[in-house]
Structure 1
Amino acid sequence: MKGYGGFVKAVIASEVRNGFFNDDFFGTPKILLPLLGKPLLGYMTDMLSFYGMNEIVLLLDAQSEKVSEYLKNNPTCGAKVKPVIGKSINDALNSLFCSDEKEDDNVLLITDNVLFDFDLSEAEKYHRSMGADVTVIITHCDGVTGEKLVFTSPSGRITGFSGSVGRCGFLTDKADTGIYIISGKILKMLRDRTITAFSNEILPELLSQNKSLFAFRCAGYRRGINTVLSYLKCTRDMLDGKTVFPLSEICDGIYSNSELPCGKYNITPPVFIGENTEISDGADLGPYTVVGDGCFIGEKAFVRGSIMLNKSAALRGADISGAVMGVNSVAEENSKMSLGSVLCEKTTVGRNMAVGENVKVTPKPHGGISAPKSQPQAYYYGENITALGSRGTDSLFGDFDIGLFCKVGRALGSCEFGTRTGIGYDDSVSSAAAVKAVTAGLISSGSHVFDFGRCFLSEVAFFSSFCSLGCGIYIYSEKNGIHSAFYGNGGLPLSPDFEQELERRAENGEFRRCSAQNMRAVSDMSSMSSMYRRELLRQSGDMLSGISANVMSDNKDILLLMEDCLLSLGCGKGDDITFKITRGGTEVSAFCRECGWINMDKLLSLCCLYEFQCGHDVAVPYDAPAAINDMADGYEKRVLRYPVQAKTPVRDELKYLSSKQIFLRDGLFMAVKILGIMRETGYSFPKLLSQIPEFFVKHKTVSFSSVPEDICRAFPNDTVYPSYNGAVMYRSGGRVLLKPSENGKTIEIVTEALNYEVSCELCDDIENKLRDLGSVLN
């Protein structure tokens, strides 16, 4: 297998300081994190060298003496490893090529700190046989937060990507490993580009250009090491023999590169013990423990499922369970560290102190906090690093948990888009309390908070856009807990990559800390409701004399506001048309005697048709009817759908359009806009509806007895495309949307066709195929 074909060059794009692991954390760059006595970089270069790579470029975003020293003292057999300092992946790629480079040379690109043992020769054969421009090496999705999902056609050609594991994790089991085979012609095309994130920036662009992107599933082990838990899990897998990398075994389940230290201590395999360690009598090493070189374990200390990096020490009676101890860190007598907790480099936890689950202990105070003078050795700064997890940002907060609310605020305030955040809430006591906790977290991270006070959901979207905020949050209470809705720039939903960043920061404890003197006061924006009313009045374009309408809503604030506005516009009160607006104000339906009830899809299409007739493009949600695109084609206009990735070029245009077309996503604005269209055209409501093409949308929710996996396998003959938190299929009869719930127990089927019968047939066919999976409830 060695030296297969022309597959001889590779790039490892590793960030030394950005991200969760850095020199201040464990005392070593994350690319050099030890895995059972050997750095991650060593495993990666050994694997690449085995498959014939004779030239490897290691991209670093900062100079690292530790990396340089390692490469100098540990030459890779058969391969030359060249470190390159740069901010763009192209800095590494360009160092491999000269202007006369052969166009058919392929390069292997690794964009993550990943331990893998794939058969790269098989991937190379597949890449060449398919004539691919880029081959994405995929593996089975294991539901890890931050994994990117890949959707393919039956032929293996990539149809799209999902930003991270969430609801789409129930639709496909194909996960992007962060390893790519790139053809020479694509490399030349990208030569002058600045590439910071290949998967987020380049792959979607190449897909939109109809380049040949294929996915190849590799058998073997793979785990990205970007969090504490993934680091612990990786070492556990290696001790369980799930990788092909050989380990030096002294006896059953006990691994070491040297002789075991003398003493009367207990070991429960599997464990790894480094060189020059000292283990005192009575110490107990539990399963899945990794002890680095030069470590000390005191009498009656108990270490289990943990990683002790070089020269760390657990003194007498210390209890280290599922934790990571950085280089030169110390757990003093009778101290305790819990699952997921971390001691950073040169950090001490004092005697009799306990570090809770998922807490990071930093070596020095932050934000004006000082250690007690009476106990200088007992000082630690605890930073909780538990996660929002897979619930996502548009999710249920759950039971009333002040700690969770504050954590979300800290994570959001640490994001660049969260530095100016607006927040509103409903009239419940629990929501008001939750807002204070979220606000405290935001302020502690240096964010400037705009308090909109008590309002309804659609107002927060408007306020966020009007004030040009990076993020807006609405918190509301229902019977099953506290809920939240997040809006991004322009009042649009948060982009998938922003959602992913927020979840990552919450999970990994990547919180920015602001000193007390630099914290900003909350801005009172409760008077913004008057601006919402003013813009609502403008939607009609003029007075509505001669038109009558009625409004229904469960939200008395919405009802009073609409009645006041219609009265101010001279609209009579009658039953020519009745609007029913949801409690949050984001959706509306309409009723008239001639047409019956008309849903939001038809009303949205009506407003879009009017915009096309006025010569405008439109910005609509991703699940808006496909019929809108058909209407746009007739007027040579465009339909932009959101949300999209933040760095997508169309994002700015979406932001502009959405700020001008609030009525396309706000139920109150849409109702007044329709009345304005009736006034402008002189048409009755039934006459307006007759202008939009016939289409019917059917919704059906299917329940599963157990959480399904890879739902797309139920449709082997269909090409499935990813959409926001779901997937879409196109058939000759119409369009199908699949929208899984957050827990995966249900999936909503949305079928759209030219008539009711075809829409129902499509829905029934999809449901029957889902039943073939075997876990659908009747």
Structure 2
Amino acid sequence: NAESYLRGGRFLIISGDVLTDFDLSAVIEFHLERKADATILLTRASNPLQYGIVITAPDGKIVRFLEKPSWGEVFSDTINTGIYILEPHVLELIPPSREFDFSKDLFPLMLQRGDKLYGYVADGYWRDVGNLSEYQQAHFDVLGGSVSIAIPGERKGNVWLGKGCTIGRNVEFRGMVILGDGVTIGDECIIESSVIGSQSCIEPAAQIYRSILWNGVTVGQAAFLDADVVGNGVQIGAHTTVMENVFIADRCRIGEHATLHPNIKLWPDKHVEPYAIVARSMIQEEKWARELFTDARISGTSNAEMNAEFAARLGTAIGTALPIGATVVSSRDPDPTSRLIKRALVAGLLSSGINVEDLQTTPIPQTRIATHTRGAALGFHVRRSFRNPNQTDIVLIGSDGRDISTEGTKKIERYFYGEDIRRVPFERVGQLRYPERQNESYLANYLQLLDAERIRQRRFRILVDYSFGMAISIFPGILGNLGCSVLAVNGYIDPYRASTTAADEDNRREISSIMRSLGYEIGFKIDPGVERIALVDDRGYWFSSMRLLTIVTALFLESNRHRAPFTIAVPVEATSEVDMIAARYGVQVIRTKNSHAAMMEATRDQRVLFVGGTRGGFIFPEYSTATDGLYTVGKILEMIAVTGFALSELDTQLPKRYQARRAIHCPWHRKGAVMRQLMEWSTSYRRDLIDGVKVFTDDDCSILVAPSPGSSEFMIVAEADAEDRATGLVEMMAGLVEQWRKDK
């Protein structure tokens, strides 16, 4: 829309939601020297996840863009600041009258065309003030002297005074304080590290700490504010307490002696009665405020962070993100907390006009299939976390059975935090239904896609460890239908034992002994969530999850060699044994990020017939777009029946590589810097930049360094033809990461 004003010559674009003191003359000089078509101002960020990362060559020429990456894609800590210098002919690349984003559309197009596109790393202060916490921090940075900015008024000691200010007796100013024009401060007040807008009145004995008050605010006698933001024209009564991180919008009136609890927001024109207590009915810690989702999962301490109030609110936010009358499929693990949280979620969904089909206690693989086949807009499963048994997970499922998209989670987060959630009239409250014969539908689909007769003819003698999980409710009938003779272990549901514990090793030793003494040819351990498996052979030998991937890949390639050409996919951390076996069959291997979500995304490629995971999960796209431990067991039996392989013999015949791994602590604010130095160090090597940085050495070894998305760690995985070499590579890289972590 501004094209007609910009045709005359070179122009500068500055995003309106940033605070910066960059020297723009320096970047203009840089732009002219390189005769650039476009130059992007860059800065270094300690946590670059929420920004667009720009990777440049030593001369500043841009070589790659990453828009709001995951930690595994943080190959640099230089980010796009939203400040650009453009030559007028660049406008010809922008199509008229439609949305066309600079960072998502224009600059990638220019990079693809080979235009002169440069990045200039600027020194100085820069902060995106597009959310409330960043807005607060920008003020604190100004007060702390971190920003070179012109502050209006006259400075007296540590106070900037606007015109016509009135200061009472015995007022104590602490830290830097900025007062606008016409501000009145009553006697005995304490003002610390705060900004108070013009024409505001602070009555006697009030205490204001680290707060930002806009214009025309009245703070009553002996009121208390701590780290808050107060909009225009707000009236705060006498003796009122406003705790930390409260955001009060314009024209609100807070009665005297009221208490506002931490981390709440008041929208414009709200009235709080005297002596009222305003509180969020959920425990909201910093983690909720920073980021609700990890991929498609929300996790929190059971019945503390993850409580009924939180879940009901989340359910309403999910419902608000969907059209009225849409259907959501729900399920849960058998433990009481999962039941509690699921019911609260369902209540929130119903209140926002969403219909719910509740599968009750059902494994998540079945829920994924039901969400897709029943035409639901969304699904969710509540479970006891296998990462931490003291936590509860909520996993959101998209309409196609895969994890919900990032766009979907961001939309839900906006409603959850924005508080503009939907409540429907009573006649439009959603319906709660309990679908029947779900297990029968699952069984029919399961048997239809396997060569069941081939399995029956083989008459397998197997052991199955149900891990006290939900598989026991359906799998015995399936195995009976397949003609298997089965010894069941831990074959009842116990939600308090259905997690990986120290007893697991003892359990494995007992199963190994049973396998050898009773002559069972194969044993399966199904995880409580029914997504992953472990495998033990007739020798009583438990395969590592990485070796299991190699064996299942070999079985799949041999039993499907008649279907070539096709493609398989595995995570970037997977052993190169997979590539060596695939090469024998002329099959291409695609590498994905190290996550279940990335494995599911790989199934969108119609050429991919198999996706193997590194933690015991496998996807067979003709059946499902996600891992299903029960189908994996059936498929392994089918492939053994077709190929005639014995697992113990197959293990001795397949190539063998060795992996070593180590986790290295790294503070969140240093992750980006470590990734940048890792990228610089690895420039001369052949490398993959899929999830972290995977370097290939000249002596047929590899080293993967990947930042953990959910913790302050880097994971280092080295692979070699000998165990000691792999261990040595891990130690070498660990030393480098520790050094980079300390470098400034």
Equivalent residue letter for 2:456? S
Distance change >3 Å, CA 623–CA 340, structure 1 → 2: same
1:541 CA drift (Å): 3.5
1:319 CA drift (Å): 2.4
Contact 2:14–2:84 (Cα < 8 Å) also in 1: yes
Identify the residue that residue 634 of structure 2 maps to in structure 1.
672
* Matching of residue 114 in structure 1 with residue 23 in structure 2: no
In structure 1, C-alpha distance between the alignment counterparts of 2:149 and 2:570, rounded to whole Å: 51
Distance change >3 Å, CA 307–CA 671, structure 1 → 2: same
In structure 2, C-alpha distance between the alignment counterparts of 1:749 and 1:461, rounded to whole Å: 32
In structure 1, C-alpha distance between the alignment counterparts of 2:204 and 2:263, rounded to whole Å: 26
Contact 1:492–1:642 (Cα < 8 Å) also in 2: no
1:604 CA drift (Å): 5.7
Contact 1:619–1:640 (Cα < 8 Å) also in 2: yes
In structure 2, C-alpha distance between the alignment counterparts of 1:185 and 1:629, rounded to whole Å: 47
Q: Report matched runs for 1:426-441 at 5 Å.
A: 426-441=333-348
In structure 2, C-alpha distance between the alignment counterparts of 1:691 and 1:121, rounded to whole Å: 66
Contact 1:328–1:345 (Cα < 8 Å) also in 2: yes
Equivalent residue letter for 1:512? I
Aligned counterpart for 1:575 among listed residues 516, 520, 523: 520
Aligned counterpart for 2:424 among listed residues 512, 515, 518: 515
Contact 2:402–2:625 (Cα < 8 Å) also in 1: no
Distance change >3 Å, CA 115–CA 749, structure 1 → 2: same
* Matching of residue 537 in structure 1 with residue 472 in structure 2: no
* Matching of residue 397 in structure 1 with residue 300 in structure 2: yes
Deviations 1:528-571 (A, max 9, x none): 34433333323413421232244334144325633421221234
* Matching of residue 747 in structure 1 with residue 714 in structure 2: yes
Identify the residue that residue 183 of structure 2 maps to in structure 1.
277
Equivalent residue letter for 1:521? Q
1:361 CA drift (Å): 1.3
In structure 2, C-alpha distance between the alignment counterparts of 1:664 and 1:697, rounded to whole Å: 28
In structure 1, C-alpha distance between the alignment counterparts of 2:382 and 2:701, rounded to whole Å: 35
Contact 2:577–2:656 (Cα < 8 Å) also in 1: yes
Structure 2: 5+ residue stretches without partners:
487-518, 609-618
Deviations 1:197-246 (A, max 9, x none): 54456667777888876654321111111222222221121122221112
In structure 2, C-alpha distance between the alignment counterparts of 1:398 and 1:680, rounded to whole Å: 46
Greater displacement, 767-776 / 662-671:
767-776
* Matching of residue 701 in structure 1 with residue 662 in structure 2: yes
In structure 2, C-alpha distance between the alignment counterparts of 1:716 and 1:193, rounded to whole Å: 41
* Matching of residue 293 in structure 1 with residue 198 in structure 2: yes
Greater displacement, 520-529 / 125-134:
125-134
Equivalent residue letter for 1:179? I
Equivalent position SS for 1:564: helix
Aligned counterpart for 1:586 among listed residues 507, 528, 531: 531
Equivalent position SS for 1:546: helix
1:666 CA drift (Å): 2.5
Deviations 1:690-712 (A, max 9, x none): 998x4646251324386654332
In structure 1, C-alpha distance between the alignment counterparts of 2:68 and 2:144, rounded to whole Å: 31
Q: Report matched runs for 1:13-92 at 5 Å.
A: 91-92=1-2
In structure 2, C-alpha distance between the alignment counterparts of 1:145 and 1:564, rounded to whole Å: 47
Identify the residue that residue 711 of structure 1 maps to in structure 2.
674
In structure 1, C-alpha distance between the alignment counterparts of 2:39 and 2:86, rounded to whole Å: 7
In structure 1, C-alpha distance between the alignment counterparts of 2:730 and 2:713, rounded to whole Å: 15
Identify the residue that residue 161 of structure 1 maps to in structure 2.
66
1:114 CA drift (Å): 0.8
Deviations 1:244-272 (A, max 9, x none): 11223331122234132254462414222
In structure 1, C-alpha distance between the alignment counterparts of 2:211 and 2:440, rounded to whole Å: 57
Equivalent residue letter for 2:714? I
Deviations 1:620-655 (A, max 9, x none): 6565567767849976868484799x9xxx899459
Contact 1:167–1:744 (Cα < 8 Å) also in 2: no
Equivalent residue letter for 1:665? T
Distance change >3 Å, CA 161–CA 271, structure 1 → 2: same
Identify the residue that residue 243 of structure 2 maps to in structure 1.
338
Q: Report matched runs for 1:202-221 at 5 Å.
A: 215-221=119-125
Greater displacement, 533-542 / 337-346:
533-542
Distance change >3 Å, CA 277–CA 736, structure 1 → 2: same
Equivalent position SS for 2:681: coil
Aligned counterpart for 1:767 among listed residues 729, 734, 744: 734
Equivalent residue letter for 2:465? M
Identify the residue that residue 479 of structure 2 maps to in structure 1.
566
- After superposition, the CA RMSD in angstroms is 4.6
Contact 1:167–1:742 (Cα < 8 Å) also in 2: yes
Contact 1:135–1:182 (Cα < 8 Å) also in 2: yes
Equivalent residue letter for 1:701? R
Identify the residue that residue 303 of structure 1 maps to in structure 2.
208
In structure 2, C-alpha distance between the alignment counterparts of 1:153 and 1:628, rounded to whole Å: 34
Distance change >3 Å, CA 675–CA 613, structure 1 → 2: same
Equivalent position SS for 2:474: helix
Equivalent position SS for 1:219: coil
* Matching of residue 597 in structure 1 with residue 543 in structure 2: yes
Aligned counterpart for 1:476 among listed residues 381, 384, 392: 384
Contact 1:118–1:218 (Cα < 8 Å) also in 2: yes
Contact 2:213–2:230 (Cα < 8 Å) also in 1: yes
Greater displacement, 306-315 / 663-672:
663-672
Equivalent residue letter for 1:490? D
Distance change >3 Å, CA 774–CA 514, structure 1 → 2: closer
1:454 CA drift (Å): 1.7
Greater displacement, 397-406 / 756-765:
756-765
Deviations 1:566-589 (A, max 9, x none): 221234557333333323222234
Greater displacement, 524-533 / 209-218:
209-218
* Matching of residue 312 in structure 1 with residue 217 in structure 2: yes
1:522 CA drift (Å): 3.5
Distance change >3 Å, CA 302–CA 560, structure 1 → 2: closer
Equivalent residue letter for 1:674? I
In structure 2, C-alpha distance between the alignment counterparts of 1:447 and 1:339, rounded to whole Å: 35
Distance change >3 Å, CA 634–CA 222, structure 1 → 2: farther
Identify the residue that residue 499 of structure 2 maps to in structure 1.
none
